[in-house]
Amino acid sequence: MPRINPDEVRAVLFDMDGTLVASDGAVERSWLAWAAEYGVDGHEAYEMAHGSPSASTVRKLLPHLDEGAIVVASARQLELQYDDLSDVTATPGAFEALGVLAERGLPWAVVTSADTRLAKARLGAAGIVAPVLVTTDDIAAGKPDPEGYLRAAELLGVDPAGCVVVEDAEVGLQAARAAGARTAALRGLDGDLRLGSLADLAAFLRG
């Protein structure tokens, strides 16, 4: 049974990649290409990167680099992602869930470990317009730090305790819990609500 009452939900905060936007192929291609350039294991890089900002992943993979080189390597990783949108789409159930939010008059936001340029590109490719978007450009610390989710709740004017965060990565769920929000988890992860897809979120919100 879900540990959330749908009548108590005041806002929904979505992660982007793997949650609202199906971009796994683009993300994997970019990390494999980047890893080949920098001489690290591509599959390890891709797994480590899931849900986290590129810069923090690059820092873990290349601990010997100074900060200037980390900035360059992180910028290169993002560069590989910006124009790779060929198979980026909305995830199953995404539009259904957003439709229910509109019906109920519930505000929502996207909180992503991407930067603003990449977030707008991927959301645009998926046909989604986020009323509030919080990216790594808007905060000092990325997931698992709660800053992004706290910022989104503030922008929506909703107490974090009234927010449900929808995530497909453990670092994102950690950020949500640290923010004091309830969690809805995809990909078999554990949250207050477990989702097979966003169609399940739509059904839940309908009560």
Residues carrying an active site annotation: 15, 17
Side chain identity, residue 35: A
CA distances from 11 to 91, 106, 118, 133, 200 (A): 20, 6, 24, 14, 17
Residue (of 109, 100, 102) closest to 134 by Cα position: 109
Q: Which residues contact 170 (CB under 8 A, 6 or more apart)?
A: 51, 189
Say which DSSP state 30 is in. H
Backbone angles phi, psi at 172, to 5 degrees: -70, -40
